[in-house]
Structure 1
Amino acid sequence: MDGLMRLGIDRFFQKEIKEMLDYVYKLMLKAGTAMSRCWTETGIGWGRENPVHDVDDTCMGFRLLRLHGYDVSSKCIEHFKSDGKFFCFAGENQHGVTDMLNLYRASQVRFPGETILEEANAYSKAYLANALRNKDAFDKWAFKKDLEGEVEYALKYPWHRSVPRLEARNYIEQYGPNDMWLGKTMFRMYNVNNITFLDLAIADFNRCQAIHQKELQQIIRWWDQSGFTELSFTRQRPAEIYFSIAACMFEPEFAPIRLAYTKTACITVILDDLFDNYGSVADLKLFQEAVKRWDPSVISGLSEETRVSFNGLYNTLNSLVKDVFKVQGRDISHYLRAIWEDLLSTYIVEAEWSERKYIPCFDDYVENAKVSIALGTVVLNAIFFCGEVLTDDILAQVDFRSNFLHLVCLTGRLINDTKTFEAEVDRGELASSISCYINENPKASEEEAKAHVYGIIDHALKELNLELVRPSNVPVICKRLLFNTARIMQLFYMVKDGFGISDKEMKGHLQKILFEPVSVQN
């Protein structure tokens, strides 16, 4: 099952996966008599009849059950800890690379306060990093095609930074047809060998990629027809923006989500650049008034580029409202326009701060900036295309009234700040989470300010794990959209501003996910 998920083809086996998870988790019955459960407080072994539990299977089971909404406790990991170390079997002093790799993966789906998973994360991460330095550690795992590559990927792209298409592309290349553990499982479940699943994964990846290429062509045409190509003040990033959603919500049926998300995000970037670098505060307030009235004539006296920007928003949002009506059966124009008004209000606040050379307090900055990052605006313009009717009750659990969206926007804003701080200072922009923290704590260094911000991000990402799996009536696809939006921000800003400067690594991701088909392996 884990292999199917990492290959990106688990959606074809949802019934079988549900049956498998239920089998492992729930109390099994035979002839009306309760039998022992596969899953216990101390984890799981190689089989239901096997009383010996091991950290490898327990950690994989814990992670998969938790991510699919089953109530499992992290206490099962305590069974494998002794004297500050983690081992494969309780009471034994041994472990290996795959054991620690599954422990590391399990530790990343932790909730706030799960100390045992904090300890497991630190221990397994250090173990795996050391294994990469000592290549002999991988010798006994020769039946795995590229275990070393799996470890390298896991360390570089942990759970909150590993988007689905990136993981699938890498795992397809690492996937070993002679992986005897995986092969036994797959044959037992489906009476097929590893190559069958690999062939399916390659064919599906290339099929989805071909669909994505056609959609990107649609986006480029829309970008050109809207006049955005001629805007001198903004970043030209339609391909990067489309990648951000295609790498997460990749399935063919989510085309409406991808198109709405990309168009909305493109416009937020244009307006952000307009408000940051181009218009005066007075002009920007007039722009905001035009949005409130929903009337292009309000800005008829402003520059051509400002009018192009407004008309792009006006025409695109009107089109989205019509499309939403077809799938939701109601007019949500006032709801969406209010979201855009709120975004513009935060842009104006930041423009006024900049004009006054004012550095707000940290909390005031974050309260405004978590909206101005525009992730909420983008998500809430696309979420209506998730395939479910969204009632007011559901919207309240995913829009700005919710902790879920708050965490998405908070983590996105703060990780952005950590990588754009120096460039913004050079441009004369004074307000960021880093500068606000230093202003409130004059003795703090830039490194200490960033450490404080990273601490907030780390805790918020754990809370996001909880929001993702918390039982609710919010459709799973809506949760995926929010959660993956947070993940793509962690990817783009993992080293530096991967969006603003579109560095070599991000260009490589775009090439592999959107343009280079996977070759059939012999």
Structure 2
Amino acid sequence: MAFSNISNTKPFSLTSLSSSSKQYWNIAQDHALASSSLQYADNYRNKDANTVSCFGVQHAKKLEVCRNILRNVVAEEAEDPFEGLSMIDAVQRLNIDYHFQEEIEAILRRQYVRYITHGKYGHHDDLHVVALRFRLLRQQAYYVAPDVFNKFKDEEGIFNKELSEDIEGLMALYEASHLNIEGEDVLDEAGKVCEQLLKAWEKDCDNINHARVVGKTLGHPYHKSLASFTAKEFFDNSQGSSGRLNDLLQLAKMDFNMTQSMHQKEIAQISKWWGDLGLAKELKFARNQPLKWYICSMVCLVDPDLSDERVELTKPISLIYIIDDIFDVHGTLEEVTLFTEAINKWDFGTLDQLPEYMKICFKALYDITEEISQKIDQKHGSNPLDSLRKMWASLCNAFLVEAQWFALGQSPKSKDYLENAIVSSGVHVVLVHTFFLLGQRITEETEDLVENMPGIISFPATILRLWDDLGSAMDESQDGRDGSYIEYYLKEHQDCSIKEAREKVLNMISDAWKCLNKECLSPNPFPASFTKASLNIARMVPLLYNYDENHGLPSLEEHVKSVLYESVSV
């Protein structure tokens, strides 16, 4: 019996946003958009070489101007500490911070030393300064205790009423509250108070632009947003700026256009690779969405200098989708059991009993994994083949568990469901490939860690899984959809309402974010580039569930169109 009968009951993974389920991602089905990548890349290649070269020279000159700005800020930081903080905030929101990592670290290291030296209160009684410093230091993996905010409470431990007039300070505190970790009640309280006060102010504000900025802060706090998707809006908010900020803005616009052209070329590479691979022709039941698969790697690895890594990461992402379709819509229980055994053994000798389409998929997976492993070995001196094999085996094992549950009509305990669903999300496969592709801090210790689902991997997977289950419970169109945490939880707690179950899931998502925040603090065995990739996966999750009435994702679609195909005027 094929699994097509249960395709609507399969839990979400990185693969479930497809036309084969009741969730549609319109951007993946927009033929004009999906096919335009080659056209845009060809247009870029056909540009006059002198034009491209001239633009590169202009960019290099502007970059040097901005480097000098940041160097001067570093030199003057002792005299005006807040200037350094505001400059870091600006380059991060403009999405050009990767150019200035040394300067950013120098400024924040001094800020941290000053915080340690002067105690928990530091220099300032200004809420905006204290909250901004707190957020930037935590983002840089420095631990700052939340009691720095106690000074803004009254004798009864309640935040001062006067803060309601400090909108800039409230926004900064609200942003800071999203870097909380477990047990930090003061930040939980701060977030709630700020949200309440800012919503009231937004409602009564007569200035549309100011109200819009507050609304965006509430809906998209920086720590939980993708700067590559939000930078354009910061461009608009910064129009008319002069001096240093204007130079940074001009660099950011140049950077945006150059990065966009790079993404277009990468999509062309992926399109060619996917066509040459031939799986779309051989496995007609499977999805054929190379643009969507690339978006996942583009979001995960945002730094422009990681072009090769984005292209390589798209390959295993595509195979997660293909294998998911084998389990979900085409294979029988017997076939997927044999396929899982073959993946675990990683041996062509085990393929005799498999149908031809599974042999084709296995060969593609085998060859691509071997090729990626060799490239990583050549570049970084470490061959991750054993680790990658284990990740593919664990993914298929988790898929098989779900297939058995649904085929046999079993209802697992909610805890057991979630443990397995975190693996079947596919997040660990993506992040383990990411870790080795980045090639930093590859040691025996870190190899063992990534193989055993550390928090830096499991918490983004948890956030992704629970967000989907929350959406499934709210979506009335998902008739007969089973296999969500909420459903199994309600079966175990029959006195619990759906509303209460949803509140529990929201709290679990919040707790997972707190745990992920803690994982990103020092000491951390993983490089900053890897923790950033992990955070970016978690940051993308809400965009995957902002459905309209047609089950499309207009917000994500607009972001992607903007980033890939709409340049900015410099």
Superposition TM-score tier, normalisation by shorter sequence: 0.7 to 0.9
> Residues 277, 290 of structure 1: CA spacing in aligned structure 2 closer, same or farther, 3 A cutoff?
same
Instruction: Provide the secondary structure at the position in 1 that maps to 2:171.
Output: helix
CA distance in 1, matches of 2:109, 2:249: 26
CA distance in 2, matches of 1:304, 1:209: 40
Q: Which region of structure 1 is more displaced relative to structure 2, 196-205 or 152-161?
A: 152-161
Listed one character per residue, the Cα deviations across residues 271-306 of structure 1 (whole Å, up to 9, x for unaligned) are 112201211111101212322343456446655543
Checking the alignment, whether the CA contact within 8 Å between 1:354 and 1:429 is kept in structure 2 is: no
Q: Which residue of 2 aligns with 1:98?
A: 168
1:352-501 counterparts in 2 under 5 A?
Answer: 352-421=404-473, 426=478, 430-493=482-545, 495-496=546-547
Q: Which residue of 1 aligns with 2:246?
A: 195
> Residues 93, 304 of structure 1: CA spacing in aligned structure 2 closer, same or farther, 3 A cutoff?
closer
CA distance in 1, matches of 2:254, 2:200: 36
1:62-461 counterparts in 2 under 5 A?
Answer: 62-82=134-154, 86-87=159-160, 95-136=165-206, 138=207, 146-159=209-222, 161-178=224-241, 192-230=243-281, 231-296=283-348, 298-299=350-351, 302-421=354-473, 426=478, 430-461=482-513
Q: Which region of structure 1 is more displaced relative to structure 2, 316-325 or 287-296?
A: 287-296
1:26-45 counterparts in 2 under 5 A?
Answer: 26-27=113-114, 40-45=119-124
**Deviation (angstroms), 1:371:** 0.4
Q: Which residue of 2 aligns with 1:25?
A: 112
TM-score (normalizing by structure 2): 0.78
> Residues 224, 102 of structure 1: CA spacing in aligned structure 2 closer, same or farther, 3 A cutoff?
same
**Deviation (angstroms), 1:384:** 0.7
The alignment covers a number of residue pairs equal to 481
**Deviation (angstroms), 1:27:** 4.6
> Residues 457, 276 of structure 1: CA spacing in aligned structure 2 closer, same or farther, 3 A cutoff?
same
> Residues 222, 108 of structure 1: CA spacing in aligned structure 2 closer, same or farther, 3 A cutoff?
same
Q: Which region of structure 1 is more displaced relative to structure 2, 1-10 or 301-310?
A: 301-310
AA of the residue aligned to 1:56: H
CA distance in 1, matches of 2:122, 2:114: 14
AA of the residue aligned to 2:278: G
Checking the alignment, whether the CA contact within 8 Å between 2:175 and 2:223 is kept in structure 1 is: no
Checking the alignment, whether the CA contact within 8 Å between 2:455 and 2:515 is kept in structure 1 is: no
**Deviation (angstroms), 1:213:** 1.2
Instruction: Provide the secondary structure at the position in 2 that maps to 1:384.
Output: helix
CA distance in 2, matches of 1:93, 1:469: 29
Instruction: Provide the secondary structure at the position in 2 that maps to 1:292.
Output: helix
> Residues 418, 235 of structure 1: CA spacing in aligned structure 2 closer, same or farther, 3 A cutoff?
farther
Listed one character per residue, the Cα deviations across residues 106-152 of structure 1 (whole Å, up to 9, x for unaligned) are 1111111111111110111122222222223x58xxxxxx5433322
> Residues 518, 273 of structure 1: CA spacing in aligned structure 2 closer, same or farther, 3 A cutoff?
same
Q: Do residues 519 (structure 1) and 538 (structure 2) align?
A: no
* Runs of 5+ consecutive residues of structure 1 not aligned to the other structure: 29-35, 46-52, 140-145, 184-191
Checking the alignment, whether the CA contact within 8 Å between 1:265 and 1:378 is kept in structure 2 is: yes
CA distance in 1, matches of 2:186, 2:344: 51
CA distance in 2, matches of 1:408, 1:430: 22
Q: Which region of structure 1 is more displaced relative to structure 2, 121-130 or 394-403?
A: 394-403
CA distance in 1, matches of 2:402, 2:475: 17
Q: Which is richer in helix?
A: 2
Q: Which residue of 2 aligns with 1:189?
A: none
Listed one character per residue, the Cα deviations across residues 132-173 of structure 1 (whole Å, up to 9, x for unaligned) are 22223x58xxxxxx5433322222223454112012222122
CA distance in 2, matches of 1:157, 1:92: 25
CA distance in 2, matches of 1:114, 1:63: 14
Listed one character per residue, the Cα deviations across residues 241-264 of structure 1 (whole Å, up to 9, x for unaligned) are 322332342222212332232221
Q: Do residues 508 (structure 1) and 558 (structure 2) align?
A: yes
Q: Which region of structure 1 is more displaced relative to structure 2, 160-169 or 102-111?
A: 160-169
AA of the residue aligned to 1:13: F
> Residues 502, 293 of structure 1: CA spacing in aligned structure 2 closer, same or farther, 3 A cutoff?
farther
> Residues 159, 363 of structure 1: CA spacing in aligned structure 2 closer, same or farther, 3 A cutoff?
farther
Listed one character per residue, the Cα deviations across residues 368-398 of structure 1 (whole Å, up to 9, x for unaligned) are 1110111001111221121424112123344
**Relative contact order higher in (CA < 8 Å, ≥ 6 apart):** 2
Listed one character per residue, the Cα deviations across residues 195-245 of structure 1 (whole Å, up to 9, x for unaligned) are 111100000111111111111111122222223434443344332332233
Checking the alignment, whether the CA contact within 8 Å between 2:472 and 2:478 is kept in structure 1 is: no
Checking the alignment, whether the CA contact within 8 Å between 1:206 and 1:518 is kept in structure 2 is: yes
CA distance in 1, matches of 2:452, 2:269: 30
Q: Which residue of 1 aligns with 2:69?
A: none
Checking the alignment, whether the CA contact within 8 Å between 1:74 and 1:114 is kept in structure 2 is: yes
CA distance in 1, matches of 2:334, 2:171: 56
Identity %, equivalent residues = 29
Q: Which residue of 1 aligns with 2:81?
A: none
TM-score (normalizing by structure 1): 0.85
CA distance in 2, matches of 1:400, 1:429: 31
Instruction: Provide the secondary structure at the position in 1 that maps to 2:520.
Output: helix
Instruction: Provide the secondary structure at the position in 1 that maps to 2:144.
Output: coil
**Deviation (angstroms), 1:487:** 1.9
* Runs of 5+ consecutive residues of structure 2 not aligned to the other structure: 1-87
CA distance in 1, matches of 2:541, 2:163: 40
**Deviation (angstroms), 1:426:** 4.6
> Residues 382, 16 of structure 1: CA spacing in aligned structure 2 closer, same or farther, 3 A cutoff?
closer
Q: Which residue of 2 aligns with 1:31?
A: none
Checking the alignment, whether the CA contact within 8 Å between 1:376 and 1:400 is kept in structure 2 is: no
**Deviation (angstroms), 1:79:** 0.8
**Deviation (angstroms), 1:425:** 9.2
**Deviation (angstroms), 1:73:** 1.1
